[in-house]
């Protein structure tokens, strides 16, 4: 894939806000890394100028994307006159159809803007093909939003491109996440203890390995008939997700050769918005992580 760099401009919101926005407790827990997304549009899509103009308008409603994240003890996003989103434009030799479908590959990295550290928090790259087709690469820092929040942004941006009003405005009210006063814990937390990293004994110990080998993404498709049979075997009313998670957890445990008293667990992402009564339009991080655990023998029997 041959790309020719054309230009990079800083797109700023129509209204500049001078403010400091602290991160919520859920933002602080999120990973400080950029998530890259490729959006593909066939010939006939809006021009680059139209897309950038719509971006300037929609950023007025999503100011967090144009700020800079501080790296001090109290992380916050700072907004000022210099706040903006870098937009890089490239020309790609060939027709878009010649490259479709875009299969996941390291070679596609050239279509996404490269993030150099934490900031900028949001970057865009417009890759225009000879036929007029467009692949838009987006790199966004997970520290200030989760998947639902950035998906809402993409929808709002597309509405602006089509000269439509934004149907669902984002909610930035962090007071929705304030703890209750006085605290009213619903679950026992006696076994939970928190300490500063500086208080740990072995300062020279290497960081724990997250993985022992390369990651392989596996996509499994289950037919509706298979799902129905799995849910019938459960015998009680459970969601499709719970039933399929239990099925997959059991099969993975068997494949790993476990079946004794070993403890095994699954990592499950949980949407915090409906569970905490937070509107779906809330912009920020609010995906929680659950770790159900069980003995291997209980799973495989």
Per-residue pLDDT reduced to its tens digit, 160-193: 999 999 999 999 999 999 888 888 878 777 666 6
- By the 8 A CB rule, do 98 and 63 touch? no
For residues 214 and 44, which has the higher predicted lDDT (pLDDT)?
Answer: 44
Q: What does the pLDDT read at residue 98? A: 93
pLDDT over 80 (residue 196): no
Q: How far apart are CA 148 and CA 284, in angstroms?
A: 9
Q: Is 143 exposed, middle or buried (0-12, 13-18, 19+ CB in 10 A)?
A: buried
Instruction: Identify the band that residue 73 occupies on the pLDDT scale cut at 50, 70 and 90.
Output: confident
Mean pLDDT of the chain: 90
pLDDT over 60 (residue 207): no
pLDDT digits (tens, 9 = 90+) for 96-124: 999 998 888 888 999 999 998 999 999 99
Q: How far apart are CA 193 and CA 280, in angstroms?
A: 32
Strand 134-141 relative to strand 34-41, pairing = antiparallel
Q: What is the DSSP code (8-state) at residue 186?
A: S
Q: What does the pLDDT read at residue 230? A: 93
For residues 206 and 45, which has the higher predicted lDDT (pLDDT)?
Answer: 45
Number of Cβ atoms within 10 Å of the Cβ of 104: 8
pLDDT digits (tens, 9 = 90+) for 216-248: 788 889 999 999 999 998 877 899 999 999 999
Q: What does the pLDDT read at residue 208? A: 52
Backbone angles phi, psi at 94, to 5 degrees: 110, 170
Q: What does the pLDDT read at residue 264? A: 94
Percentage with pLDDT > 70 across the chain: 92
Q: How far apart are CA 145 and CA 286, in angstroms?
A: 8
pLDDT digits (tens, 9 = 90+) for 251-283: 999 999 998 899 999 999 999 999 999 999 999
pTM score of the predicted model: 0.85
pLDDT digits (tens, 9 = 90+) for 3-26: 999 999 999 998 777 889 999 999
Structural domains of the chain, ranges and CATH numbers in brackets: 3-169 (3.30.559.10), 223-301 (3.30.559.10)
pLDDT over 80 (residue 204): no
Instruction: Identify the band that residue 134 occupies on the pLDDT scale cut at 50, 70 and 90.
Output: very high
Instruction: Identify the band that residue 146 occupies on the pLDDT scale cut at 50, 70 and 90.
Output: very high
- By the 8 A CB rule, do 109 and 55 touch? no
Q: What does the pLDDT read at residue 199? A: 58
In sequence order, which residues have a C-beta less than 8 Å from that of residue 30 and are 6 or more positions away? 142, 143, 144, 146, 285
SS3 content of the chain, % helix, strand, coil (to 5): 30, 20, 45
């Amino acid at each position: 894939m041959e790309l020719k760099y054309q230009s990079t401009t800083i797109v700023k919101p129509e209204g500049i806000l001078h403010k400091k926005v602290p991160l919520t407790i859920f933002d602080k827990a999120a990973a400080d890394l950029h998530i890259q997304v490729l959006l593909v549009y066939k010939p006939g899509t809006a021009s680059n100028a139209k897309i950038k103009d719509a971006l300037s308008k929609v950023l007025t409603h999503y100011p967090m994307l144009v700020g800079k994240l501080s790296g001090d003890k109290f992380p916050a996003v700072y907004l000022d006159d210099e706040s903006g989103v870098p937009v890089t434009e490239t020309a790609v030799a060939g027709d878009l159809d010649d490259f479709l479908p875009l299969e996941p590959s390291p070679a596609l990295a050239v279509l996404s803007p490269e993030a150099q550290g934490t900031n900028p928090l949001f970057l865009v790259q417009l890759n225009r093909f000879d036929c007029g087709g467009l692949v838009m690469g987006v790199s966004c820092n997970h520290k200030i939003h989760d998947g639902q929040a950035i998906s809402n942004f993409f929808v709002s941006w597309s509405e602006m491109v089509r000269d439509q009003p934004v149907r669902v405005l984002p909610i930035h009210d962090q007071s929705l996440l304030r703890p209750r006063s006085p605290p009213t814990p619903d679950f026992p937390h006696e076994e939970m203890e928190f300490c500063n990293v500086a208080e740990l004994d072995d300062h020279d110990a290497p960081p724990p390995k997250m993985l022992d080998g390369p990651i392989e993404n596996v996509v499994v498709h289950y037919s509706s008939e298979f799902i129905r049979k799995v849910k019938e075997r459960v015998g009680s009313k459970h969601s499709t997700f719970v039933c399929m998670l239990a099925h997959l957890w059991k099969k993975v445990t068997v494949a790993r050769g476990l079946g004794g008293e070993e403890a095994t667990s699954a990592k499950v992402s949980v949407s915090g918005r409906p569970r905490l009564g937070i509107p779906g339009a809330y912009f920020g991080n609010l995906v929680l992580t659950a770790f159900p655990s069980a003995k291997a023998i209980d799973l495989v029997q």
